[in-house]
Amino acid sequence: MLDDVSRVRLLHEVGCALAARLELDELIPLVVAKCREVLDAEGAAVLLLDPDRGELHFPYVAEEDPEVAESLGSVRFPADRGIAGRVLQSGEAIRVDDVSTDPRFYPNVDRHTGLTTRSLLSVPLSSRHGPIGLIEVVNRRDGSSFSDADLALLSSLAGSVAVALENARLWAQLKDSADRLRSQVVALRRDLARRERFTDMIGTGAAMEEVFRLMESAAASPIAVLIEGETGTGKELVARGIHRASGRGSEPFVAVNCGAVPETLLESELFGYRRGAFTSATQDQRGLFEAASGGTIFLDEIGEMPPAMQVKLLRIVQEGEVTPVGDRRPRKVDVRLISATNRDLRAEVERGRFRDDLYFRVGAFPIHIPPLRERRADIPLLADVCLARAAERHAKRIPGIEPAALQRLASFDWPGNVRELQNELERAVALAMDGEPIALGHLSARLRGCAPADSGAAAEPDISAAVPPARSTSDLREARSDFEVKFITEVLRTHGGNVTHAAEALGISRVALQKKMKDFGLR
């Protein structure tokens, strides 16, 4: 028998242990094990009420006989039957020294399990919303009956147990709600990605359709993505699009250009450092991997990463942990990795410049971004968007691009891809007067000197639908109007007649597009 001091100490220890657990799968085994141990009983169980079915069930049982415990796990019985039903309805604890003489005893549980119940304690578990179940302890090991002190101890424990069970149940509901919301957000992001087609990106041909398709698949998966493409093709734009459409879209997106950070600083930049790790380390500093925790880290130009750093990056990819410079203890990080390169990493592996084991980790899901010269039909769309943004930055009203200048833009090979096109139009807007369209004279000497598309040796896409035939100088205004009609018609067709999406692609407001459609009779 426990003395008063031992009982208080026990209640305190059990209360602390219960308060430290929020998972029912951990909490209930602890409760029944403690009750069985403290009361020297053959068996103990928590019975929980299923209010929808009006039944009691055993989520976990502590029994000397494992077969009995397993059998009880499958038992359910009406919540108004037996001694348990009486305790649940009355809210009062009951001690029965000999169940064979108690008419309230419900023998079906013993018949199902083969257990013989001689004596028991049954104590209700109640929350502020009503009864949630009960604790039962059966058969003292020494064959004697339980005492009133045993019943009082179990009743004292029941208060803490009920609170802990209710907290665990609420925690489980919150987790379930969070999981459902997370899955719904992922589904909505995927649907949004399909509807918006990653609106920051512009492309209508088969090559870009394949890019969009792969982006959707990558957004729905945690797989490491490797974006391949020439400089200026928009690899970071692709990475951001995947991140926004993924389940991590509301978490940080951290971009790092591995080729732009000196080798001596790259490790501390990515992994952080401890105070005193080097001369200027006056305080602890978290690295970019930890800064991106829960979100996505984008390693641009990963092919430029030094061999020593490749080894450390491989550990992060494999183990999901980083070790700051000057620290010996690794830290867990939850980060989605997206990499990009303008090199042929497979060739770099063969030359021994890039680790093959790291390549197979980061390159599990490759996405190739085609260069601008392979999708010339997108150049008029891209040029119009770049022009609108540049005009806004320069606070100028630029009505458009003259057909000859647009033809020259479409004829150029653009070794710097979209970034070079952006810079060219930024320069042209800076040269143009307010209210003046972009003409050949506003383009750089490189473009003015390039051969027209129809005089080149290689066949190029026909962009006549976007650029109307040249007319005489006196007919320039009409030619410009013809071009706008055809161009707006094509953009509207591309976006299925959606005025909002077409206006975004054109870089003008919905109201401005509707006015143009009215002026040109396109409504």
Per-residue pLDDT of 244-258, as tens digits, reads 888 888 888 888 898
Domain membership of residue 354 (yes or no) is: yes
Residues 167 and 236 in one domain: no
Residues 145 and 238 in one domain: no
Burial of 284 (0-12, 13-18, 19+ CB in 10 A): middle
Residues 164 and 72 in one domain: yes
CA angle 412, 416, 418 (to 5 degrees): 80
3-state class (DSSP) for residue 444: coil
Report pLDDT digits (tens) over 431-460.
999 999 999 999 998 888 765 544 333 334
Task: Report d(CA 120, CA 83) in Å as an integer.
Answer: 10
The confidence score (pLDDT) of residue 460 equals 40
Residues 410 and 329 in one domain: no
Domain membership of residue 180 (yes or no) is: no
3-state class (DSSP) for residue 335: coil
Domain membership of residue 177 (yes or no) is: no
Q: What letter does residue 60 receive in the DSSP assignment? A: E
Helix segments in 81-234, DSSP class H: 82-90, 108-113, 148-196, 206-219
Domain membership of residue 67 (yes or no) is: yes
Residues 318 and 463 in one domain: no
The confidence score (pLDDT) of residue 64 equals 58
The confidence score (pLDDT) of residue 523 equals 62
The confidence score (pLDDT) of residue 178 equals 75
Residues 433 and 390 in one domain: yes
Report pLDDT digits (tens) over 15-50.
666 666 666 667 777 777 878 888 888 888 888 898
Domain membership of residue 437 (yes or no) is: yes
Q: Are 168 and 21 in contact (CB under 8 A)?
A: yes
The confidence score (pLDDT) of residue 129 equals 81
Task: Report d(CA 262, CA 175) in Å as an integer.
Answer: 43
Residues 419 and 358 in one domain: no
The confidence score (pLDDT) of residue 468 equals 44
Closest CA to 482 of 464, 468, 501: 468
The confidence score (pLDDT) of residue 38 equals 81
Residue 318 one-letter amino acid: Q
Is beta strand 296-300 parallel, antiparallel or unpaired with respect to 253-257? parallel
**Rg (alpha carbons) of the chain, rounded to whole number:** 36
Residues 213 and 329 in one domain: yes
Q: What CATH number should be reported for the domain holding residue 337?
A: 3.40.50.300
End-to-end Cα, the chain, rounded Å: 92
Domain membership of residue 253 (yes or no) is: yes
Report pLDDT digits (tens) over 410-435.
989 999 999 999 999 999 999 999 99
The confidence score (pLDDT) of residue 184 equals 57
Q: What CATH number should be reported for the domain holding residue 407?
A: 1.10.8.60
Cα separations (Å) of 60 from 35, 46, 169, 371?
Answer: 13, 7, 15, 62
Residues 123 and 91 in one domain: yes
Last residue of a domain, one of 370, 401, 426: 370
Domain membership of residue 182 (yes or no) is: no
The confidence score (pLDDT) of residue 423 equals 92
| Confidence band for 139, pLDDT divided at 50, 70 and 90 | very high
The confidence score (pLDDT) of residue 455 equals 37
The confidence score (pLDDT) of residue 331 equals 82
Last residue of a domain, one of 370, 386, 408: 370
Give the chain's domain count: 3
Residues 448 and 423 in one domain: yes
Task: Report d(CA 401, CA 398) in Å as an integer.
Answer: 8
Report pLDDT digits (tens) over 306-361.
998 999 899 888 888 888 888 777 888 899 999 999 999 999 999 999 999 999 99
How many other CB atoms sit within 10 Å of the CB of residue 144?
11
Quote the domain boundaries for residue 464.
Answer: 373-519
* Largest Cα span, the chain: 115
Q: Are 436 and 394 in contact (CB under 8 A)?
A: no
Task: Report d(CA 35, CA 62) in Å as an integer.
Answer: 9
Q: Which residues pair with 127 in a beta bridge?
A: 130
Q: Are 225 and 240 in contact (CB under 8 A)?
A: no
3-state class (DSSP) for residue 268: helix
Last residue of a domain, one of 337, 353, 370: 370
The confidence score (pLDDT) of residue 456 equals 39
**Mean pLDDT over all residues of the chain?**
82
Q: What CATH number should be reported for the domain holding residue 98?
A: 3.30.450.40
Q: Would you say the C-alpha torsion 188, 192, 194, 200 has a positive or negative sign?
A: negative
Report pLDDT digits (tens) over 92-106.
999 999 999 999 998
Residues 360 and 377 in one domain: no
Q: Is the pLDDT of residue 189 over 70?
A: no
Token reading at 508: 């003008």
Q: Are 314 and 339 in contact (CB under 8 A)?
A: no
Closest CA to 203 of 181, 177, 166, 229: 229
More confident residue, 73 or 124: 124
Domain membership of residue 140 (yes or no) is: yes
The confidence score (pLDDT) of residue 470 equals 42
Q: Are 272 and 284 in contact (CB under 8 A)?
A: yes
Residues 271 and 282 in one domain: yes
Q: Which helix (H) or strand (E) holds 36?
A: helix 24-38
Report pLDDT digits (tens) over 265-293.
888 888 888 777 777 777 778 888 888 88
